[in-house]
Amino acid sequence: MTLDPWIIAAAAAALALVLGRRALGGRRLSPDDIRQRIAAGAVVVDVRSPDEFRGGAYPGALNIPLHELSGRLGEIPRQRPVVLYCASGARSGVAAMLLRRAGYAEVVNAGGLHDMPR
């Protein structure tokens, strides 16, 4: 039995997507789940650039651009859950991975600003 190269390529792409998503912050929670975490005291961190943040942000979010995150960890309380977002979920996924490696226990990649609860 010979497999079509397109089937093999499609399967490899799907696997890369699943593994990449896990590496960049895991599965995403629903807006209702995010809303509950925020209501329970989670810190909301926007890891976009200051210009993006000025263009519109989630109410009460702390702006710590991804490239500054490691130097500003002291601004994020370790004893509270953390909800991260960016424009698409990619930068916040990297930020989630960095925070977990730094010892933050409850970290959620909420995705993009458009994924945040209204």
Q: Average pLDDT, stretch 21-40?
A: 78
**Which residue type occupies 117?**
P
* Residue 82 bears catalytic tag: no
111: helix, strand or coil: strand
Non-local (6+) Cβ contacts of 98 within 8 A are 69, 70
* Distance of alpha carbon 28 from alpha carbon 14, whole angstroms: 17
Contact 97, 86 (CB under 8 A): no
- The pTM assigned to this predicted structure is 0.79
Least confident of 12-21, 37-46, 71-80, 103-112: 12-21
* Distance of alpha carbon 105 from alpha carbon 118, whole angstroms: 26
Q: Give the CB-side neighbour count of residue 91, counting CA atoms within 13 A.
A: 19
Calculate helix-pair angle for 5-23, 90-101, nearest 10 degrees: 50
Active site residue: 76, 86, 90, 96, which one? 86
Residue 22 has pLDDT above 80, yes or no: no
Tens digit of each residue's pLDDT (9 = 90 or more) over 58-104? 999 999 999 999 999 999 999 999 999 999 999 999 999 999 999 99
Residues of the chain above pLDDT 90, percent = 74
Mean pLDDT over all residues of the chain?
A: 86
